[in-house]
Amino acid sequence: MAHCVVPEAEALLDKEFPVLDKGFVRLVDYLGGDQRVVQAARVSYGAGTKSYREDAGLIDYLLRRRHTSPFEQVILTFHIKLPIFVARQWIRHRTARVNEVSGRYSVMKDECYLPAAEDVALQSDDNRQGRRGEALEGARAEEVRSALERGQREAYRDYGALIDQGIARELARINLPLSLYTEWYWQIDLHNLFHFLELRLDTHAQKEIRLYAQVMLDLARKVAPLCCESFERHALGAVRFSRDEFAELKRRLAGAPAGSGAPPSPDGAGLSGKALDRFRAKLETGEQL
């Protein structure tokens, strides 16, 4: 296949895009773009084998029908600086190649993430994984921030003292907090990047990792704009319905709302209770629940 150069992506290489208070994302390198996906799908050579409109239609067809292998031909390499607690969520996506800075070889920098006051909130009542949508009032938020900063400062002071005493770096580091910043090179193909973005841009994902995901989507748009446009239309902005939910949707389209006494669908499917609540929420909010 011909080498794919994307001028818009070339212009962004090695530029730092800030995330959180001290983090960043850099696009270090890329292989291929929209044209590579098209070439791989058609198993042809060279650029311009079809019109722009036909290429866009093919990409949309591939993503809509989940023919994912052509998207694996596009590879992006990022340099990312992020808090360790974000990295530990991130590493669950095991479809990338990762090289992370090592606290065994290097002295870690005195850099920790401190959330802004507007991001300090109580535990959610209905989401075991997350915080409430509303932030704490100013004085209480600053108390929390002060407590976090105090713990970070003390932990790094003890770490530095152990390093100065000649204690092995692999031992000195073990009490460092999850808020400490780490760095890694993260290389992934476009298909698996889309899977990462679909999960980490969801409103249920932690805000801190959502901010990184948004920057990465913005950079991916420069590498493969047609692919990203299709991804946003068919995956990021879409809602999936279960078999029973689809049966409920068909009943409603036929003019038989839930609870109207209309006969059930031929397969006997019907929604009630929490299942019906989830279905209604999908229709009202457009969120995947």
The structure tokens 């023919």 sit at 67
**Is 183:87 a contact under the CB 8 Å cutoff?**
no
Within 10 A of 287 (CB to CB), how many other CB atoms are there? Answer: 12
Both tokens assigned to 88: 């530990």
What is each CA distance from 59 to 51, 64, 67, 95, in whole angstroms?
12, 8, 10, 22
Q: What angle do CA 282, 288, 289 make, to 5 degrees?
A: 85
**Distance between CA atoms of 110 and 117, rounded to whole angstroms?**
21
Residue type present at position 174: I
Both tokens assigned to 10: 């070339």
Conformational region of residue 89, where left means phi above 0, alpha means psi within -120 to 50, and beta covers everything else: alpha
Both tokens assigned to 133: 């949508």
Spatial CB neighbours of 28, under 8 Å, sequence gap ≥ 6 = 13, 14, 77, 78, 79, 185
The structure tokens 């770490």 sit at 159
| Candidate list 200, 233, 243, 252, residue with the active-site label | 200
Under DSSP, the state recorded for 232 is I
Going by DSSP bridges, is the β-strand pair 97-100/16-19 parallel, antiparallel, or unpaired?
unpaired
Active site residue 251: no
**Is 208:20 a contact under the CB 8 Å cutoff?**
yes
**Distance between CA atoms of 184 and 99, rounded to whole angstroms?**
5
Within 10 A of 219 (CB to CB), how many other CB atoms are there? Answer: 22
What positions carry a catalytic annotation? 200
